[in-house]
């Protein structure tokens, strides 16, 4: 049996889908329901459903980010979007990320059954390569969002765990994507952002080295100095004085 997850913050829609859809006709069974994006991801990782019906706007969820995460971590999962927003550009981006159907609310039952039929047919066909075009776009979308968050929060005590939660993927998966797309580890990338900002701050002679260190997210000035020299080839003081490696 194919496993199905239904996620929507409107209970009437969840109940209607669970009770009314001819699941057995298509060899399916509902293995879980969710009212928000975070719960949906927890169930996905726990039960690895084959099919996902999901609202695009739920509490705790950036719709496109969730879809990108699902498509990247679970490339063979079939997804149908349920949306109350007839935004063509949004629908186009979702389809580019590899969703099977984009169904507007209020949905006709025939549309939902057609979506289920298409998804089950896709799953029964020969499996597509795991790195198809939509999967690449999903991965690039995730990394782009992760980098944007890191650049915005580099001065904080930032961890891989926190960033992975923001982009709805596991720590392991995000680490793998960053290495593949950027050719660096998470910590090296974060240190790079911090040192680039430190180089700007060092232009201000009123700021002491330890103050620069704190402002870019290092709690230990010795660690900052070691990383700065490793990346630039010179000490922070030497850089401030115009010396280059």
Task: Tell me the domains of the chain and their CATH numbers.
Answer: 2-128 (3.40.50.2300), 134-240 (1.10.10.60)
Tokens of 125: 């066909």
- pLDDT value, residue 128: 46
Query: Could you give the CA distance from residue 72 to residue 230 in angstroms, rounded to a whole number?
Result: 33
Cis ω on the peptide bond leading into residue 197 (within 30° of 0)? no
pTM of the predicted model as reported, rounded to 2 decimal places = 0.74
pLDDT digits (tens, 9 = 90+) for 140-185: 899 999 999 999 999 999 999 999 988 888 899 999 999 999 999 9
- pLDDT value, residue 92: 79
Query: Could you give the CA distance from residue 198 to residue 98 in angstroms, rounded to a whole number?
Result: 40
- pLDDT value, residue 127: 47
Which phi and psi angles does 23 have, rounded to 5°?
-60, -45
Q: Please identify every stretch of the chain with a pLDDT value under 70, giving residue numbers as ranges.
A: 59-62, 87, 126-133, 245
Query: Could you give the CA distance from residue 199 to residue 243 in angstroms, rounded to a whole number?
Result: 12
């Amino acid at each position: 049996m194919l496993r199905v997850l239904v996620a929507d913050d409107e209970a009437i829609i969840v109940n209607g889908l669970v009770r009314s859809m001819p699941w057995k006709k298509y060899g399916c069974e509902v293995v879980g329901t969710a009212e928000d994006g975070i719960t949906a991801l927890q169930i996905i990782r726990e039960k690895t459903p084959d099919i996902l019906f999901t609202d695009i706007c739920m509490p705790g969820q950036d719709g496109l980010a969730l879809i990108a995460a699902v498509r990247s971590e679970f490339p063979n999962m079939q997804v149908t979007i349920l949306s109350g927003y007839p935004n063509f550009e949004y629908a186009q981006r979702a389809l580019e990320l590899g969703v099977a159907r984009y169904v507007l609310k209020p949905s006709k039952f025939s549309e939902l059954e057609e979506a289920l039929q298409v998804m089950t047919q896709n799953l029964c066909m020969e499996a597509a390569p795991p790195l198809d075009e939509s999967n690449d776009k999903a991965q690039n979308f995730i990394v782009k969002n992760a980098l944007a968050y890191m650049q915005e929060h580099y001065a904080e005590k930032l961890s891989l765990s926190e960033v992975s939660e923001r982009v709805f993927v596991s720590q392991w998966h995000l680490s793998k994507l960053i290495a593949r797309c950027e050719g660096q580890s998470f910590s090296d990338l974060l240190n790079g952002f911090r040192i680039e900002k430190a180089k700007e701050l060092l232009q201000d002679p009123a700021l002491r080295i330890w103050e620069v260190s704190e402002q870019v997210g290092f709690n230990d000035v010795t660690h900052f100095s070691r990383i700065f020299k490793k990346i630039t080839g010179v000490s922070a003081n030497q850089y401030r004085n115009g010396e280059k490696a």
